[in-house]
Chain A
Amino acid sequence: EAGVVQSPRYKIIEKKQPVAFWCNPISGHNTLYWYRQNLGQGPELLIRYENEEAVDDSQLPKDRFSAERLKGVDSTLKIQPAELGDSAVYLCASRETSGTDTQYFGPGTRLTVL
């Protein structure tokens, strides 16, 4: 079974430019999470989806970050415009809504803002 897929794996952009990350969760997983992981820190939740609904986006900086999960499958996280402090690894995770308590993580996208 394929795991959580993320692309791109690496992205380098100039500050003030837009950037987008894509995630395809494990088939059948209704819950999808986006996390940000700063260097030397643990992941921090940005947003959680149940199917296509964002049920917790309290930690998402809404002035520059946006996310969508059309059709309740894959998801896109966007930053516009990017700032130097946005450099981090952006992780996507998915989970069976009514099944186990385990979240399965993708490999992440490492963003560098110059």
Chain B
Amino acid sequence: SQQGEEDPQALSIQEGENATMNCSYKTSINNLQWYRQNSGRGLVHLILIRSNEREKHSGRLRVTLDTSKKSSSLLITASRAADTASYFCATETGANNLFFGTGTRLTVIP
């Protein structure tokens, strides 16, 4: 399967702390994307990192990509209660299809 795997499956932190989620995948990719999904809602695109990039920032988000290890991490700094959601990594191959991981359930405690 080309589906990635997130680690940990669940994460609970206090508001203001940083949250780190990891993603591992199996095949060569064009890019890797992170999405957020609030309970009962659709997915929201957060950030995309291309295979020739190593790090990318967007607001409180920092994404790293290590293609040699086929892994990525998402760091959310200064977390807020509103960040509570499930976070998915998705890899895109040459066929322009996305393959999603199993997700990390993040709970930020006020």
CA of A31 to CA of B88, assembled, Å = 21
Residue A29 interfacial (CB < 8 Å): no
CA of A104 to CA of B99, assembled, Å = 15
Among the stretches A12-20, A43-51, A64-72, A76-84, the one at the interface with B is A43-51
A107 to chain B, nearest CB (A): 4
Partner of A41, one of B30, B31, B45, B102: B102
User: A56-B95, A101-B48, A102-B48 given as contacts; is B43 within 8 A of A41 (CB)?
Assistant: no
Q: Mark A14-56, 1 if CB is under 8 A from B, else 0.
A: 0000000000000000010100000011111100100000001
User: A42-B3, A101-B31 given as contacts; is B45 within 8 A of A107 (CB)?
Assistant: no
Task: Bin chain B's interface residue count.
Answer: 20 to 34
Q: Mark A92-114, 1 if CB is under 8 A from B, else 0.
A: 01000000011111111010000
User: A42-B88, A42-B90, A56-B95 given as contacts; is B45 within 8 A of A103 (CB)?
Assistant: yes
A91 touches B45 (CB 8 A): no
The majority secondary structure among interface residues of chain B is: strand
B103 touches A104 (CB 8 A): no
A45 to chain B, nearest CB (A): 5
In the complex, how many residues of chain A place their beta carbon closer than 8 angstroms to a beta carbon of chain B?
22
User: A105-B42, A107-B41 given as contacts; is B92 within 8 A of A42 (CB)?
Assistant: no
CA of A31 to CA of B41, assembled, Å = 21
Q: Mark B72-110, 1 if CB is under 8 A from A, else 0.
A: 000000000000000010101001111111110000000
B92 / chain A contacts, CB cutoff of 8 Å: 101
Residue B33 interfacial (CB < 8 Å): yes
Partner of A105, one of B44, B48, B102: B44
A101 / chain B contacts, CB cutoff of 8 Å: 30-31, 33, 48, 92
B97 touches A56 (CB 8 A): yes
Q: Can you list 9 A-B contacts with CB-CB less than 8 angstroms, sorted by A residue number?
A: A4-B42, A43-B98, A44-B100, A48-B96, A56-B95, A101-B33, A105-B42, A107-B41, A108-B41
